[in-house]
Amino acid sequence: MKGAIKLYHRVGLPFIILAIILFIVQPILPSEMMAAEILIMAFPTLAFILLFGYTGQLSFGTGSLFAVGAYTTGILLARYDAHVLLAILAGIIVTGIIAAVVGFFCIRQAGLIFALLTLAFNQLIWFIIWQWRSFTGGPDGIWGIQRSAINFGLFSVNIKPSFNFYLLVLIFFLLTFLFVQRLIESPFGKVLQGMRDSELRATAIGYKPITYKWTSFVITGMICGLGGTLFALHQEYVGEHVANWMTSGEVVIMALLGGTFVLYGAIIGSGAFIFLSDFLNQFTALAKAGGWLFVLGIIFILVVMFLKGGLYGGGGTLYTWLREKLASPPLEPSNPEEHTRTGS
């Protein structure tokens, strides 16, 4: 019973608080669609954190897998008028298949070579998208994506309004977050963390690191694909820039900003990155010639250098310091009579 209560306070209660905050935050942000964009970019960031923070694999291929999901859903909706949920499911499955192929070649390497291989496959997928004009539209991308309504037979839900679409994205994100949270608490997740700390020790006790790495790569790829499918609905357009290495770089920055060793870092990092990008672009002097990127780069450097564990870790350190300060008992006033006796 005590263990269940501890698990609730450690996992369940923070998740409920997160769900409440995300539900009410949409009208507060400067743009109606900003909240949806933050959650959509939190998908690949969450995948990166699971792959790097909990498995120890540094991937620069999240952008291409994100794009595969977006293009699959975009093509099905724009050219074949598919059901929205069917198009989303297809995007996840196709991305999982591509991730399985890419992961088969990449996981056999480790460290820097693994990272460079994922970057190479990222650029290969981008090149295919760029060149395959008859299927992907090439540099023109996919136009004509509509997010009118989801038909459930007896009733339908219109996801065209920004708040309705945000609720759809929120449901998918919370379900994905809960799945990843349970995954890392499961025996499978414990093995991943054990391999991250010592792959040799995990091998010595009978686990096969290649199998676990490949499985985690496929799972994170499918999470990226889900984010991509929602991105296609969000933008109602998909362009080749989504598969560019810069998208993968932005995901890495989001993860480092939020915290690479905690799942909540995904939403914190994507929120901070997108909000700061929008805020800094409000200033004409910074918007010209990409000056906002310079300021954002300085903020990123300061966070990495002085906040261990990103914004989440820095916030936790500040909270601990304040709690210790407030909990420390006040100094007892000196006794004048005792002072007089000792002085005499």
pLDDT for 193-243, tens place per residue? 999 888 888 888 888 889 999 999 999 999 999 999 999 999 999 999 999
Tokens of 12: 């369940």
Q: Which domains does the chain have, with CATH numbers?
A: 32-283 (1.10.3470)
Question: Which pair of structure tokens corresponds to residue 342?
Answer: 């000792």
Long-range contacts (CB closer than 8 Å, 24 or more residues apart) made by 86-90 = 87/229, 88/226, 88/229, 88/230
pLDDT for position 325: 80
The residue type found at 122 is N
- Residues 223/176, Cβ–Cβ less than 8 Å: yes
pLDDT of residue 218: 97
Spatial contact of 222 and 92, defined as CB atoms under 8 Å apart: yes
Nearest by Cα to 229 from 33, 39, 11, 58: 39
Query: Is 290 or 342 the better-scoring residue by pLDDT?
Result: 290
pLDDT for the residue 344: 43
Other CB atoms within a 10 A radius of the CB of residue 81 amount to 10
Name which of 102, 43, 58 is nearest 231 in CA terms: 43
The phi and psi torsions of 340 (rounded to 5 degrees) equal -70, -40
Q: What angle do CA 254, 169, 219 make, to 5 degrees?
A: 65
Q: What is the mean pLDDT of the chain?
A: 89
